[in-house]
Amino acid sequence: MVTTYRPTVHHEETNQLRPKPAPYVATTPRSHPTVVTLNSLAMGKKIKNKLNSHPKIIKIDHNGRDKSHYFNHEITVRFRKLPTAQELQRIERAIAGKLINQFDHFFIFRSNSKTYHELRYYFQSIPTVAYSEPNYIYLQNEIPNDLLYSRYQWNLPAIDTEAGWRLSRGKKSVTIAIIDSGVDLDHPDLVHRLQKGYNVLANNNVPEDDNGHGTHVAGIIASQPNNGEGIAGMTWFNAIMPIKALNSEGYGTAFDVAKGIRWAVDHGAKVINLSLGNYQPSTVLEEAIRYAYDRDVVLVAASGNDNTAQPSFPAAYPEVISVGAVNPDLSFAHYSNYGTYLDVVAPGTNIASTFSQHRYAALSGTSMAAPHVTALAGLIRSMNPHLTNDDVKQIIIKTAADLGENGKDPYYGYGLINVYRALEQASSWR
């Protein structure tokens, strides 16, 4: 078995650590915690190969290697003015299809016969349409690793987490949203940290994780310390808002991710984690990012796992903190994307965390690096709630430990995050 990282508990905080009623009813009986072995790089490659060869999915080749995808017979449309029921019926007849999803002024239409380009030509003729674009597919930025489990949570001491806990361990009032594949809603290491969330795909309030990726991300942020279970997350008390926007295979659309972001913002999220990406910018997603940013939400995203300088979105949007990954020896992780848009790096290789069905796993990827930064943003906002989202970003950047070339560079950004220095700075930030 493994050595579990056990931070000390101060007596004045023990009352806060007592179990609280969970917001979800357990749907499956709990079993003894198990550690799973996952196939090396095969899972991520399998998804990409499936998308590359699917007859109904179009591939965009960016540079001969990095690719984006969208559905050929679907289109995302933003209306300036909401169409009436009669207008929608007329549109459905014209495209030989139907409306399949909608929120606010954003609509997804699917045709039984017309290609995306034929659909776009049609919607360009409608005066009330602000713009249209493909229904882009976004992939989780995680690479499974076949190492069973880390003997020690190297990621926490590498960024001075325990020292930082002397300054802030988080507050329940600062909610962190995770836009991902959902969360294992009755995992013992997470169950008392969850608040009500949203399943974008099913349009209900049961964001159960049927993939495992979202649960792993959640555990890095909030796996409960000192509860006799598995591992310790970076925050002790912050509430987690699970948003399911990725399916059981680990991918979802820009429309669903954008809808998840809007829901999280409207329901009180202060920090949002986006461990997902695509090389094609989406206007629908960009509008959701700006919606969150304009409402003072801190946005954190993974840079991607293709070892490329091709900008990945949403990480490359200026409103977002873009995160790359490092190895246990703090060297640049060979899979991590890089470039001028990269802000900081965090531990990403062999990261032990929670997994679906009451399990634990060690995974690698920038998907694992991003939640370290998300958790730090939650700790900062817990310590000093008067800080703006820009303040939080600047604190994280200014207190990062410079790695690689002096100053900002494309592989490490401004450097490796440091929890203690960031919280120390936050306490006196003006």
Cβ partners under 8 Å of residue 98, min gap 6: 92, 109, 110
Of 302, 301, 320, nearest to 392 (Cα)? 320
Q: Are strands 271-274 and 240-244 parallel, antiparallel or unpaired?
A: unpaired
Cβ partners under 8 Å of residue 205, min gap 6: 196, 197, 198, 199
CA distance 4 to 274: 27
Taking residue 68's Cβ as centre, other Cβ atoms within 10 Å add up to: 24
Q: Which helix (H) or strand (E) holds 76?
A: strand 74-79
Q: Encoding tokens for residue 8? A: 């000390």
Q: Are strands 67-71 and 136-140 parallel, antiparallel or unpaired?
A: antiparallel
Which active-site residues does the annotation give? 180, 213, 367
| Start-to-end Cα distance in the chain | 47
- Give CA angle at 51 (50, 52), nearest 5°: 90
* Residues 344 and 321: beta-carbon distance below 8 Å: yes
CA distance 347 to 421: 17
CA distance 70 to 59: 7
The amino acid at residue 36 is V
* Residues 241 and 208: beta-carbon distance below 8 Å: no
CA distance 251 to 137: 7
Compute CA 228 distance to the chain's CA centroid, rounded to the nearest angstrom.
Answer: 27
- Give CA angle at 301 (69, 185), nearest 5°: 90
Taking residue 320's Cβ as centre, other Cβ atoms within 10 Å add up to: 23
Query: Concatenated DSSP letters for 342-381?
Result: --EEEE-SSEEEEETTTEEEEEESHHHHHHHHHHHHHHHH
Q: Which helix (H) or strand (E) holds 419?
A: helix 419-427
Strand partners, 354: 360
